[in-house]
Chain A
Amino acid sequence: MMDFLTPVTWADALAVKADRPEAVPVAGGTDVMVELNFHRRRPAALLDLTRVPELAAWGRDGDVLRVGAGVSYTRLIEELGGLLPGLAAASRTVGSPQIRNRGTLGGNLGSASPAGDGHPPLLAAGAVVELASVRGTREVPVADFFTGPKRSVLAPDELIAAVLVAPADGPEQFAKIGTRNAMVIAVSSFALALHPGRRSVGTGIGSAAPTPRRAPEAEEFAAAHLPWDGPGPLDPDLARRFGELVSAAAAPIDDVRGTAAYRRHSLSVLARRTLTWAWEELCE
């Protein structure tokens, strides 16, 4: 039989996880329940996080936003669309309303899929994941969180508490390629954040490497060459070069959804387009 553990406070949840590190956390169920329904696994225990109010909260903590791991995609769109437009845009492309009502940011991170839609905008925004256990709390940059396909630095006794991320201080964009217009796992995706105040650029690549990843060379190139001083139309060659550098940062494979070659190609197009759109937005 499987135990179903239902902590109702964050402290309880951490204590339960310390006591039962094999317990599988479940919130929106969009990954875990599929595994159970398909009888692919039968964990010794499920740790239900939907009754922990702390996880469902978000608020400002100084200069950053602290977004609880249990905040659903629907709430990211409705409540945080203005503060985190890139993440909200990515959230709109997740599944269907039913999935967005249940699926959470923490669940997306916990599954650590290379195709997770929430990851590229978090990478682009330079977000930090707050991990907690009875041993204490640690903060891990999203870029260091993923260690491989469906693997992360999360320890067996840890839970994902929140994401810490600064509100957007410039245009943010997200673009995703899928074979359908909705309900689709990304063939490739790309997120971009412009920080005109500090003249820097953030990027996030999805579905084109063993883990979601940034494109550091592209970021440095854009930061150095974007005409920050005299905003005006973007040099198409600059956008094209940015796209090439993003594409070069990917390490895609051929799989059922697309070829490595297509992923590289599409990333260069998405990067070029999102930079162009973001720059236009900045100039408005």
Chain B
Amino acid sequence: MTCTVNGVPRTADDVWEGESLLYVLRERLGLPGSKNACEQGECGSCTVYLDGTAVCSCLVAAGQAVGREVVTVEGLSGGPDAEPGPVQRAFLAAGAVQCGFCTPGLIVAVDDLLSRNPHPTDPQIREALAGNLCRCTGYEKIMEAVRLAAGGQA
């Protein structure tokens, strides 16, 4: 199976087409940034871009991603060792990260939200992030992070 991940053409061998894109990323391509937490699209921890659209990678069959462009949280900072991007910096500054397990999916979801709507209202933020469960923060700090990122202050 071949697709482009974070700008780099990648090939995974022995892929069973029914396995999820999330599984391919985590288990076959060594990209565990996207998290596996519900496998049914309820938590958003596995959110990635597929051809520029934010999706739950657990609900994309590996075969559906063939030849497509995938961007994961690792790709938003240009690599795990690179400097964090603006949304990532906003999460740090606002204290929107606690255990961090929902964070990678949220970072992608917020990046997607701000690319479509650079200055969202609070209700728009809450609605846009409704598919990303966070069990630690109570969401308030995540709201702050999005406002920070939208204001270009991070």
Contacts and interface: CB of A to CB of B under 8 A. Distances in A.
A102 B59 contact: yes
A156 interface: no
Contact of B61 (A29, A95, A97, A183): A29
A34 B39 CA distance: 6
A29 B64 contact: yes
A98 B58 CA distance: 11
A30 interface: yes
Interface residues of B, number: 30
Nearest 4 pairs of A and B residues by beta carbon: A96-B131, A4-B17, A182-B130, A37-B39
Contacts of A101: 53-55
Interface string A1-16: 1111010000000000
Contact of B58 (A2, A37, A46): A37
Greatest chain A CB density within 10 A among B17, B44, B58 is at B17
Contacts of B64: 26, 29, 48, 50
A48 B61 CA distance: 9
Interface in B35-89: 39-42, 44, 47, 53-56, 58-61, 63-64, 66
A48 B131 contact: no
A42 interface: yes
A99 B61 contact: no
Contacts, number: 90
A72 to B, nearest CB: 9
B63 A48 contact: yes
Given A33-B60, A97-B54, A99-B131, 4 more contacts: A30-B41, A46-B18, A96-B131, A99-B56
6 contacts: A2-B18, A4-B18, A28-B59, A29-B64, A96-B44, A98-B54
Interface of A: 1-4, 6, 26, 28-30, 33-34, 36-38, 42, 46, 48, 50, 95-99, 101-102, 181-183
A33 B130 contact: no
B34 interface: no
B41 A99 contact: yes
A33 B58 contact: yes
Contacts of A36: 18-20, 61
Nearest to A49: B64
A182 B132 CA distance: 11
A37 B55 contact: no
Contacts of B53: 101-102
Contacts of A38: 39-40
A153 to B, nearest CB: 26
